């Protein structure tokens, strides 16, 4: 009986691989450095070694394994199993699925880390038991994933839920993607840090000026300590995040919206402000029943998500 799966969380600094049963109970796990600078084939071989390791330490063989799931930064082509390009990994238009499938003679599934996080939350986290959920990750950038009608939704070119690049301010600040007023340009951790540094360089009085380096962490800290400029920056960014989430609720009418990523760690202030905006902007019928909650999976979210990907795709 094939009652186990393997999940691989492929990141720029480390590879984390777990062997799990179909309830998400991890039997064996390993985390090693990616050593991305070594190039495509060495990193591929390191991934394969982690799979062999968890099989061995879990006292299982490939006969016990239903599938392997891999979460990776994108952009990637989930259908073809190709990593197109990504800043911190060596792979360029590299088919990561094929060599691993051939090596272990198992079904292998690849997806971007936002989708994998969404699937993980859907199966084992804060969206367990729902049919329709949207996942926002708010940190350096703003990304997303969704499970709709009980299935992960990827869209036509695997690029669905590029929710960080929806427009919330039509002539707003320039986003890294080139456009104006993207959600990411006004609500990401990067945007909050940038607004903080602009304040430091300006004539306004702000306690941010005591720091040599200002990121979103300092802005949240000084806002909590009562600095008006920091409070204003945080409030503005969270208002836009609220608009982005309100738009997602009006669009998807989900049971739950999950907020993960660094900015969500700033705590209750994030959820209070987002809820306030949603209550103001969404139809009552949807706003009242949709829960807006932090991610339920902790530091192992990536690898548990990859386990979940393997389970849902091999069903």
Residue 19 vs 161, nearer CB to its own copies: 161
Site for its own copies in 74-113 (CB under 8 A): 75
Among the listed residues 148, 224, 269, 293, the single contact to its own copies using CB under 8 A: 148
Among residues 1 and 285, whose Cβ is nearest to its own copies?
285
Where is 273: in which H helix or E strand?
helix 268-281
User: Does position 275 bind its own copies by CB under 8 A?
Assistant: no
**Residue among 48, 40, 18 nearest 124 (CA):** 18
Count the Cβ atoms, other than its own, within 10 Å of residue 4: 25
**In angstroms, what is the minimal distance from the CB of 200 to its own copies?**
26
Cβ count near 265 (within 10 Å): 16
Q: Count of CB atoms within 10 A of residue 303's CB? A: 29
Work out whether 217 is an interface residue with its own copies (CB under 8 A). Answer: no
274 burial (CB, 10 Å; 0-12 / 13-18 / 19+) is buried
Q: Which is nearer to its own copies, 230 or 247 (CB)?
A: 247
Cα–Cα dist 155/31, whole Å: 32
What is the nearest approach in angstroms of its own copies to the Cβ of residue 95? 18
Q: Which stretch binds its own copies (CB under 8 A): 2-10, 46-54, 102-110, 238-246?
A: 238-246
- To its own copies, the closest distance from the beta carbon of 179 in angstroms equals 5
Q: Which of 173, 146, 166, 180 is nearest to 247 (CA)?
A: 166
Q: DSSP of 2-28, one letter per residue?
A: --EEEEEEE-SSEEEEEEEETTS-EEE
Query: Which residues face 95 on adjacent strands?
Result: 82
Q: Which of 95, 140, 179, 207 binds its own copies (CB under 8 A)?
A: 179
Q: Which is nearer to its own copies, 124 or 252 (CB)?
A: 252
Q: Segment contacting its own copies (CB under 8 A): 1-9, 27-35, 91-99, 250-258?
A: 250-258
What does the binding site for its own copies look like in residue numbers (CB under 8 A)? 75, 131-132, 148-149, 151, 153-163, 165-170, 177, 179, 239-240, 243, 246-248, 250-255, 280-283, 285-286, 289-290
């Amino acid at each position: 009986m094939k009652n186990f799966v393997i999940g691989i969380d492929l990141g720029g600094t480390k590879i984390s691989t777990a062997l799990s049963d179909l309830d998400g109970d991890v039997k064996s796990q390993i985390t090693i450095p990616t050593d991305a600078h070594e190039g495509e084939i060495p990193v591929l071989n390191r991934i394969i070694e982690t799979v062999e390791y968890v099989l061995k330490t879990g006292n299982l063989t490939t006969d016990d394994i239903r599938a392997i799931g891999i979460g990776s930064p994108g952009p990637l082509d989930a259908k073809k199993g190709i990593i197109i390009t990504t800043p911190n990994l060596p792979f360029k238009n590299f088919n990561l699925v094929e060599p691993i499938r051939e090596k272990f003679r198992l079904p292998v599934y690849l997806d971007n880390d936002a989708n994998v996080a969404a699937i993980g939350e859907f199966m084992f986290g804060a969206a367990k038991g729902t049919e329709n959920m949207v996942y926002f990750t708010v940190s350096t950038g703003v990304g997303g994933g969704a499970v709709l009608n009980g299935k992960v939704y990827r869209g036509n070119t695997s690029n669905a839920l590029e929710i960080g690049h929806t427009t919330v301010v039509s002539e707003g600040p320039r986003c890294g993607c080139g456009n104006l007023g993207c959600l990411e340009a006004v609500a990401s951790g990067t945007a909050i840090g940038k607004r903080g540094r602009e304040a430091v360089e300006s004539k306004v009085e702000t306690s941010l000026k005591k720091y040599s380096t200002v990121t979103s962490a300092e802005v949240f800290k000084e806002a909590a300590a009562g600095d008006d400029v920091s409070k204003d920056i945080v409030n503005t960014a969270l208002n836009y995040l609220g608009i982005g989430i309100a738009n997602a609720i009006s669009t998807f009418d989900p049971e739950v919206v999950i907020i993960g990523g660094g900015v969500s760690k700033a705590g209750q202030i994030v959820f209070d402000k987002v809820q306030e905006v949603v209550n103001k902007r969404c139809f009552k019928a949807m706003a009242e029943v949709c829960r807006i909650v932090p991610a339920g999976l902790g530091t192992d979210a990536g690898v548990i998500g990859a386990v979940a990907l393997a389970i849902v795709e091999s069903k």
